Amino acid sequence: MLVSIDWLKDHTSDPNIIILDTRPKTMFLYGHIPKSQSLTMEQVIQFDQYGANLVIDEKKIADLFSSLGIDISKTVILIGDSMDPSAARIAWTFLYFGHEKIYLLDANIMDLQKNGLELTKKLFTRELATFIPKINSKIRIESDHLKENLNNFAVLDARTPQEFMGGHLPNSKLIPFTEGIAYDGKLFQNKDFLQNLFSQNQVSKDSEIVCYCMHGHRASSLFLQLMIAGYQNIKLYDGSFVDWYGRRLPLE
C-alpha cells in the first residue's frame, strides 16, 4: 500500500503512473508535485438523509476516475498528510471500485522539498481514459447487515476516547486511528508496530472486522492500518456513527 519518496522520484515520468493530491483544493493550487492532479475526499462521497458520507455511485465514479486518466492499466499514487484521513478514504474508494493498483506516498507532502521533489503551481491534465468499476462488496457494510450480525464482527471505533464515551456501537472496541499514525514524516507506523497494536487490543486475524468512526474517514485510515498489519477480513462502515445514530439504532 505504500511507496517511498525515492520510488516516486524514479517514476514521476512513467506514463502509467497517476499521481493524485488529496489535500484541499486551495492547498493543491498553492503548490503540488509536478504532473499531479487534485482529487479531494468531497468528490468521492455523497450525503444521505442523515448526513452520512457514503460512497458515490458507479456512474459518478466512472466519470470521475476516467476524467483523471485512470483505467485498469494505471497505477495510482495518492499524496496526503498523516493526520488527514482523506488519502485513506480515497484509497478505500479505489479498492471498493476494484482498482487494486493503488498506493499511498509514505510521507507528508511538506517533507517532499526536503527530499529533492520541487513543488509547482502549474496545472496538469491527463488524457481521458475509460474506468470500469468492479465493486468489491466484501470491504463495505451497511447498517442493516451490521445490526443483524453485531456479535459476529469485531467492531472497531476509530474515534477519540471522548467521542467513544459519549456513545458507541454495541460491543465495539476503541482503537483511535491516531495510534497507528507516524510522527516522523511517514504516514503510518511500521508493520510490526501495527501488528502489536492490534494484538494488544485482542483483534484476531481470524475475525471479520468492521471499522467505523463519525463519517467513515478516520475508519478508512484504521482500515489501511489493518491491511498493512496483514489483516484481510476488513469492512468499512462508511455510514458510520452518523448513519447509525440517524437510524436510531442502539448505542452503548
What confidence score (pLDDT) does residue 183 get? 83
Domain 2-136 and domain 138-246, same fold? Reply is yes
The predicted structure's pLDDT at residue 136 = 98
The pLDDT value recorded for residue 108 is 82
Can you give the pTM of this predicted structure?
0.96
Fold that domain 138-246 belongs to in CATH: Oxidized Rhodanese; domain 1 (3.40.250)
Judge: domain 2-136, CATH 3.40.50.300: no
DSSP readout, the chain? -EE-HHHHHHHTT-TTEEEEE-S-HHHHHH-B-TTEEE--GGGGEEE-TT--EEEPPHHHHHHHHHHTT--TT-EEEEEE-TT-THHHHHHHHHHHTT---EEEEEEEGGGTGGGT---B-----PPP--------GGGB--HHHHHHTGGGSEEEE-S-HHHHHT---TT-EE--GGGGB-SSSSSB--HHHHHHHHHHTT--TTS-EEEE-SSSHHHHHHHHHHHHTT---EEE-TTHHHHHHHTT----
pLDDT digits (tens, 9 = 90+) for 148-162: 999 999 999 999 999
What are the sequence ranges of the domains in the chain?
Answer: 2-136, 138-246
What is the rounded average pLDDT of the residues 216-240? 97
Dist CA 48 CA 218 (whole Å) = 19
Q: What is the model's pLDDT at position 12?
A: 85
Would you say 5 and 107 are in contact if contact means Cβ atoms under 8 Å apart? yes
61-101: pLDDT as tens digits: 999 999 999 999 999 999 998 889 999 999 999 999 999 99
**Average pLDDT, rounded, for the chain:** 95
Res 185: pLDDT? 81
Confidence of residue 109 (pLDDT cuts 50, 70, 90): confident
Instruction: Give the tens place of pLDDT for each residue, 9-20.
Output: 899 889 999 999
Q: Is 78 left (phi over 0), alpha (psi -120 to 50) or beta?
A: beta
How many residues are present in the chain?
252
Q: What is the pLDDT of residue 115?
A: 77
